[in-house]
Structure 1
Amino acid sequence: MLSPGSTHADVVVVGAGVIGAACAEALSGRGLRVTVVDRGAPASGTTACGEGNVLVSDKAVGPELTLAQASRRLWPELLDRLREEAGPSLADAEWDEKGGLVVATSGAAARALTGFAAGQRAAGIDARELPEGGAAELEPLLTPKVTAAVHYPEDAQLQPVLATAALLAAVTRRGGCVVSGTPALGVESGRGGRVTAVTTRDGALPCGAVVNACGPWAGHFAAAAGAPLTVLPRRGMVLVTGPLPEATVRHKVYDADYVGAVAGDDADLMTSTVVESTRSGTVLIGSSRQRIGFEDSLQVHVLRTLAAKAVALFPALGRVPVMRAYGGFRPYTPDHLPVIGEDPRCPGLWHATGHEGAGIGLAPATGRLLAELMVGLPPHVDPWSFRADRPALTKGQAQ
């Protein structure tokens, strides 16, 4: 284990989840010496509680969709490059271009879904409205009550912990290091208020810049660094079935209400139906969203709601045993956009957080964008909407 203060890093990335790992990989790929520090084990927080979704289907036209499109192009390229560097066994993230299927079961939901898809098509998304019976051809066990369906061939899935491990392994191969079990407490600053080190429980890590990739805890770290941000935890829960025969569920399938839940601002419980299989044969059932701080007790009523909605969409799941359930916290921002870039209130403090439940899908483009901005290269997507000093993040905060 690294002894804090024993080496000087160009950049310290705080947070060893998929976003922090993607930033560290992109920065080390630009020749910077990177140290990644995390209070726990790599990928043990929000990343471990994700479903591995790489989606374009759930995002309205705007800056997040643009970032998602860039990430969807980058993920397979990045994984190919990591495999070339490390070999297939060390960079296998179970990449699966399974596609997504969004369905409606009422007339109002059908109209909303087809209108949403039409806007996405205008932005370059492959969103295919299916004829009557088309959804059943793709998913034979789906409820016959479907009134409209849109197929998104670009939606994909990977195993988030494996992907994070592959990214961090690339960082260490390039001379960086990963420090686990070491909480970051804040920063030290020098002339002009510029960051000179990250303070930890075990001492200081000298650096030229720090990246706040703390996920749901990013607001706490930003405040400790003297640059408060409104990044809050939003809890989600997932059910996992026992292994089922291959092709029981063939795509990521969710009801049209999911998009509204993702974009919702209500702190109270919001649920929608999401059903998808994994390579091991288990089926993941979600999703819920609830702003209750860091309360992590198991909420049986939420799990019952998820199960009932999943059975309504796939009646055959009513006979399937549930193996386990898990919950996690996602980094929520009031305007539902990530924070990517340097904080003008604290030179040398950079943020990469606020992706809520989309961090797995948005990670490669986030890492690349942050690295481009840090080293002064033209950004591959417009960073303006993701800036740290936008009003939604700093309203009411100390400046």
Structure 2
Amino acid sequence: MRKGLFNNIRVWNDGHALGYEVTERLLSRSGVEIIRNCRCDAVATAGARVTGVYTSQGLVSADAIVVAAGLGSSRLLGLEDVLFARKGQIVITDRGGIGHAAFDGHLMAASYIAAKRRGSKTAPSRVGLVIDPLKTGQFLLGGTREDNRSDTGTDIESISQIVREAAALYPPLLARRVIRTFSGVRTATRDGLPIVGQHPTIENLVLATGFEGDGICLGPYTGKIVADIITDKVTEPEYSLLAPQRFLAERAAS
């Protein structure tokens, strides 16, 4: 590590997961009916209990509803002051003549973790550096955290900063070429923690949103928590730090 440049963490034996493969595998094993190209417009209620969801294809009735719609959760539940977009730009290098990961695990700057908990809708954009060696021999280099940005383009200033910081930390990257850049939009929360739990005023309405970049890895475990909440197998103290009450209860009282 070059003195005064970075504080970094070497993460050993870290695994990789492709989001679309995880999603398809879970869906294929679940046996649920998937309704595609169907817009959810509003949650249907009767008194203080959820009864279904209004969609572009009509009302879908249900005894329980889970809202796991990312930024779309804002529109469904009025969370515009809680959830916000956080864009991230990513760099992919060439293979460098090898067909396996360059080293085990990955390198992560402390700023990468700290930026997740910034929780500000007005904080300046910054790079939280991660150097992720892929099994193809390529590297994934990331990434920016750009608050209130929902576009999916990349820009030379951000990409250059990522590449400079990555090469300063791991000089062998100077022999690689950048072959692709892309960006995506994460759903962040005001306090930097996801929202998981029962809605404080609507019975059998459960939220699971605001995971930022951790939703794919935490998805299966979150699904179990949500199922346990709906079937009354989990009690509030087990997930109270993530419960939507921290945002919605005070709004209901005002």
Q: If the length of structure 1 is used for normalisation, what is the TM-score? A: 0.57
Residue 297 of structure 1: aligned partner: 153
Q: CA 1:366–1:304 in structure 2 vs 1: closer, same or farther (change >3 Å)?
A: same
Residue 51 of structure 2: aligned partner: 196
Is residue 2:86 matched to residue 1:234? Answer: yes
Task: Trace 1:1-399 onto structure 2 (pairs within 5 A).
Answer: 105-106=2-3, 150-153=9-12, 155-172=14-31, 176-190=32-46, 192-223=47-78, 230-244=82-96, 245=98, 246-266=100-120, 267-378=123-234, 382-391=238-247
> Deviation at 1:387?
0.9
Aligned partner of residue 64 in structure 2, secondary structure: strand
Residue 26 of structure 1: aligned partner: none
Q: CA 1:351–1:344 in structure 2 vs 1: closer, same or farther (change >3 Å)?
A: same
> Deviation at 1:282?
2.5
Q: CA 1:362–1:105 in structure 2 vs 1: closer, same or farther (change >3 Å)?
A: farther
Q: Answer whether contact 1:342 1:388 (CA < 8 A) is retained.
A: yes
Q: Answer whether contact 2:11 2:106 (CA < 8 A) is retained.
A: no
- Cα-to-partner distance string for 1:256-287 (whole Å, 9 max, x where unaligned): 22222222245321102211122333211001
Alignment length, in residue pairs?
250
Aligned partner of residue 216 in structure 2, secondary structure: helix
| % identical equivalent positions | 24
Q: Answer whether contact 1:217 1:331 (CA < 8 A) is retained.
A: no
Q: Answer whether contact 1:272 1:309 (CA < 8 A) is retained.
A: no
One-letter amino acid matched to 1:250: D
Q: CA 1:375–1:312 in structure 2 vs 1: closer, same or farther (change >3 Å)?
A: same
Q: Answer whether contact 1:250 1:276 (CA < 8 A) is retained.
A: no
> Deviation at 1:165?
0.7
- Higher strand share goes to which structure? 2
> Deviation at 1:350?
1.1
One-letter amino acid matched to 2:58: G
> Deviation at 1:359?
1.5
Q: If the length of structure 2 is used for normalisation, what is the TM-score? A: 0.87
Q: Could you say what the CA RMSD is over the residues aligned between the two structures, in angstroms?
A: 2.6
> Deviation at 1:352?
0.3
